[in-house]
Chain A
Amino acid sequence: MEVRVNGNTHEVDVSADMPLLWVLRDELGITGPKYGCGIAQCGACTVHVDGVAVRSCQLAVGDLAGGEVLTIEGLGTPDTLHAVQEAWIEHQVAQCGYCQSGQIMQAAALLDRTPAPSDDVIDAVMSGNLCRCGTYPRIRAAVKTAATKLQEV
């Protein structure tokens, strides 16, 4: 079947119930999305499907139904970072980094929909993304910085 990821079309020969995360990591070698739990409890595998944040461990590749997948590899480039990535570097958010691709993808989806989120909204949206290193205060600050950056452009 065909899968669209980061603007490219890939042909994969997998069963329709394989989680998208497996397809990305094991079939396509796109390893930005991380495996944390496999049961929607941690958010490490978050990608966008047609602009909506989705836990890729919970979406069967057959249920993509032609949707456009965006992973952190396609969010920005080293030369033109996404505002969320810039803010993450400025705030030095990451500690071990394992959860961070999911955090960044979730934050980018949040700001697409809610350009100037309150603390309450940030907490509600980001609470499904766990960080075992406890970088939460920096995540919240970086989301605000990214929101300001996006409003300036």
Chain B
Amino acid sequence: MKKIILFGALLGVATFALAEDAAVIDPPMEGSVTVQQGLDAWSRIHDVVSHPRCANCHTGPSDRPMWSGPSFGAPRQHGMNIRAGESRMGLEYLQCSSCHTTKDENWDNANAMPHAAPRVAMGWALAPMEAHWFGRTAEQICAQLRDPEQNGGRDMIELAEHLNHDLILHWAWAPGGGREPAPYSLQEHVDDLLDWGVAGMPCPQD
């Protein structure tokens, strides 16, 4: 793992290391999930993607992360006039990692301090523009997620693998500092995604 991270750092590219708490990707048999079960799975997926731990950094065309959720009162833009820029990492302005520093992968109480900047074992960043969750409806997000043009050309397995590799996303279930975690668990979220995929990616508006 260290070698992968080092290699990534040398190349100057984003490093995606598989975390120890990674989920198992085990899709159900083709045809074994009904459309209704797929819609139920979608509803739980929506509970996750619309949760502040996820949506706050999925702000679409805006390069401003949001602060919202039980500890924030009314939703508002991230303090300090933060702009993530086109890089989505703040390279054009103040780097996200100036405060959201990159921690060692084995350091598990790094986010114990309330109100401090969360940190993970990869460079902090805003989600890509196409992955727009904040302020959008379940129907809109569902349509986006099943459209290869808008989901990075991923099928359901690739979506699940993507969830497994993104350590910022893993943080959503263990945010520390008194923050409310995203609902369910990473494994349940991956399972729901696979069920939804096998059911044919149904959306409430179909």
Of chain A, the residue at the smallest CB distance from B9 is: A65
The docked-state distance in angstroms from the alpha carbon of A135 to that of B102 is 31
Q: Which of B91-99, B162-170, B187-195 contacts A (4 or more CB under 8 A)?
A: B91-99
Contact A60 B82 (CB under 8 A): no
The docked-state distance in angstroms from the alpha carbon of A1 to that of B31 is 57
Q: Which of A49-57, A81-89, A145-153 contacts B (4 or more CB under 8 A)?
A: A49-57
- Return chain B residues, CB-CB under 8 Å to A60: 101, 103-104, 107, 110
The docked-state distance in angstroms from the alpha carbon of A55 to that of B113 is 15
- Is A2 positioned at the interface, with any CB of B under 8 Å from its CB? no
The docked-state distance in angstroms from the alpha carbon of A46 to that of B94 is 12
Contact B81 A127 (CB under 8 A): yes
Shortest Cβ gap from A111 to chain B (Å): 13
Of chain B, the residue at the smallest CB distance from A42 is: B80
Size class of the contact patch on chain B: 20 to 34
- Is B117 positioned at the interface, with any CB of A under 8 Å from its CB? yes
- Return chain A residues, CB-CB under 8 Å to B115: 39, 41
The docked-state distance in angstroms from the alpha carbon of A114 to that of B87 is 15
**Which chain B residues have a beta carbon within 8 Å of chain A's beta carbons?**
79-83, 91-95, 97-104, 107, 109-110, 113-117, 119
The docked-state distance in angstroms from the alpha carbon of A17 to that of B102 is 12
Q: Which 5 A-B pairs have the closest CB atoms?
A: A127-B81, A40-B99, A39-B116, A40-B117, A128-B80
- Is A58 positioned at the interface, with any CB of B under 8 Å from its CB? yes
CB pairs A–B below 8 angstroms (28 shown): A38-B113, A38-B116, A39-B113, A39-B115, A39-B116, A40-B116, A41-B79, A52-B98, A54-B98, A55-B117, A58-B99, A58-B116, A58-B119, A60-B103, A60-B104, A62-B107, A63-B101, A63-B103, A63-B104, A121-B92, A121-B93, A123-B81, A124-B93, A124-B94, A125-B93, A127-B80, A127-B94, A128-B80
Shortest Cβ gap from A130 to chain B (Å): 9
- Is A59 positioned at the interface, with any CB of B under 8 Å from its CB? yes
The docked-state distance in angstroms from the alpha carbon of A55 to that of B95 is 11
Contact of B94 among A17, A39, A53, A58 (CB under 8 A): A53
Beyond A53-B95, A63-B104: 8 further Cβ-contacts under 8 Å?
A: A16-B107, A54-B98, A55-B101, A63-B107, A121-B92, A124-B93, A124-B94, A128-B98
Shortest Cβ gap from B8 to chain A (Å): 13
Contact of B99 among A63, A125, A128 (CB under 8 A): A128
